[in-house]
Structure 1
Amino acid sequence: MGLQHFSTKDRILYAAEELFAQQGFASTSLRQVTSRADVNIAAVNYHFGSKDNLVNEVFRRRMDVMSAQRLEALAKAVNATQGQLDPILAAFVEPALAMAQDRHGGGAFIRVIARAYAESNDSLRKFLSDQYGHVLREFAKAIAPCVPALGKEDLYWRLDFLSGALTYAMADFGLIKRPAGVSESTHRQRAAKALIRFASAGFRADAT
C-alpha cells in the first residue's frame, strides 16, 4: 500500500499494522516501523509515546469503529426483534466481517487480531478488556433473555467461542475459500449466515 498520501500519524499506523500482521508485536521494532512509514523516530514518539501505546492505537483505530457499529446494530436488533437470538448474533458478526473486507488494511488487521490471540501480551489484553469488554457485556445482556436456561458462565464461554470462530472466519484460514466468480460481498454474507446459524445452535444447546 502506498502511504505517501496519508498523514504522518496514519502512515505510522498503517506501517505498524502491516508489520505486526507479518511479524507479531514482539518481533517488530520501532525502527522497522519508521523505515516502513518513511518517518523518523521522533514522529513515533510525538504521536504515540511508546511501542505499547502504538500497539494500542493500531487496535483503537479499527475497534472503535467496529464496536460502535456493533452496539448500534445491537440496539436496533433488540428493539425490533425482542427475544430473537439470530438478529443479536448478526449484530455481533456482520460488522466484524465487513471490517475484514475493508480494502484499506482490513485483512492485515485481522492477522493482527490473530497475533493478539497467539502472543502473550498482558498490556494489550488489559487495554482490550478495559476498552472493549463493555461491548461483550452488552451482547451477553441481550443474549441472556433469549436463552433463559443458560447460566452466566456458560453464556460467557459460548460468547468467547463465537469470538474465536469469528476471528478464524475473518482471517480466511479455513476450508471455505471464496469461489471464483463470487464477489467478496456475497462470500461475506454467506459466511455471516453460516456462522450465525452455527452460533445460534451453540447458544441454544443444553448446558450440562
Structure 2
Amino acid sequence: MAAHFSTKDRILGAAEELFAQYGFAGTSLRQVTSRADVNIAAVNYHFGSKENLVNEVFRRRMDEMSERRLALLREAVARQPGELEPILAAFVEPALALAQDRHGGGAFIRVIARAYAEKNDGLRKFLSDRYGHVLREFAKAIAVCVPGLSKEELYWRLDFLAGALTYAMADFGLIKRPAGVSEAAHRQRAAQELIRFAAAGFKS
C-alpha cells in the first residue's frame, strides 16, 4: 500500500514543480511522467485526466490549510467574540505557514500565481466548489464585527485581503527579510502587518 501512495505523491510533486515552472497549459503529461519516473498508465490510473491532476495538486495543500483556518476561526470566535483581528489572523497565518513549508511550499505558491495569471475556468470552479464555504464562514464572522458594512462591501474587502495575502505568500514584496531575522520571525511580522492593515480596511 505504501508504494501506491508514494507513486501518487511522486506524480503530484512532479506536477507541482512543472506547473510552477511552465504553467498548466505549458506542461504536458509526458513531462510529468518523465520527471516522476512513472508511465502514463500510472497518471491515468491515479488521476484520470490532466484537469483532475491540476485539481489534486491544489487539494493536497489546501484541504489541510482550510481545516486549519476553520479550526482557528472557531477558536477566535469562541475566545474573543466580536474581535476582528483574531478572525483575520485565522485567515492569514495558516496561508503564510504554507508558504514557508519546506516540502515544496514555494513551488505551490508559484502554482497559485499561475492560477491567477492563466484564468483556468475549470480550476476556478473546482476551488470555488471545494473551498467557497471557507470564505463564507469568514465573511459571516467578519460581518458580526463590522455590522455597518454591506454584504457587497464585505466581499470586496475580503477579496482584496485574499489578493494581498497571495502577494505576501509569494514574497513579491519590497520588504526583504533583514539579515539576522529568522524566516519564522519575518513571517510573523508580515502576518501582524497584514492583519493590522486588513482590520483598518474592514473598519473604515
Task: Normalising by structure 2, report the TM-score.
Answer: 0.97
Match of residue 138 from structure 1: 137
User: CA offset at residue 179 of structure 1?
Assistant: 1.5
Deviation at 1:120, TM superposition (A): 1.6
The alignment partner of 2:31 has SS state of helix
Q: 1:37 is matched with which residue?
A: 36
Counterpart-to-counterpart distance in 1, 2:194 and 2:122: 30
Of all paired residues, the percent bearing the same amino acid is 83
Q: Residue in 2 aligned with 1:171?
A: 170
Aligned equivalents of 1:169, 1:35: Cα separation in 2: 33
Counterpart AA for 1:99: L
CA distance in structure 1 between the aligned counterparts of 2:152 and 2:191, rounded to whole angstroms: 25
CA shift for structure 1 position 181: 1.3
- SS at 1:149's partner residue? coil
Give 1:204 deviation, angstroms.
0.7
CA separation in 2, counterparts of 1:32 and 1:157? 39
CA distance in 2, matches of 1:88, 1:74: 6
Partner Cα distance (1:35, 1:42) in 2: 12
Structure 1: any 5+ residue segments left out of the alignment? none
Match of 2:77 in 1: 78
Structure 2 unaligned segments of length 5 or more: list them: none
1:90 and 2:89 are equivalent in the alignment: yes
What is the CA-CA distance between 1:30 and the residue it aligns to?
Answer: 0.3
Partner of 1:124: 123
Deviation at 1:141, TM superposition (A): 0.2
Q: CA deviation at 1:124?
A: 0.3
Superposition deviation, residue 182 in structure 1? 1.0
The letter for the 1-side match of 2:115 is A
Letter in 1 for 2:70: L
Name which of structure 1's ranges 60-69 and 109-118 shifts more when overlaid on structure 2. 109-118
Aligned residues: 201
Counterpart residue type for residue 11 of structure 1: R
What is the CA-CA distance between 1:16 and the residue it aligns to?
0.4
C-alpha root-mean-square deviation of aligned residues, in Å? Answer: 1.1
2:195 is aligned to 196
Partner of residue 57, structure 1:
56
Which whole-Å deviations, capped at 9, do the CAs of 1:42-72 have from their partners, x for residues lacking one? 1100000000000000000000000000000
More helix by share: 2
Secondary structure class of the residue paired with 2:107:
helix
Quick one: which amino acid aligns to residue 30 of structure 1?
Answer: L
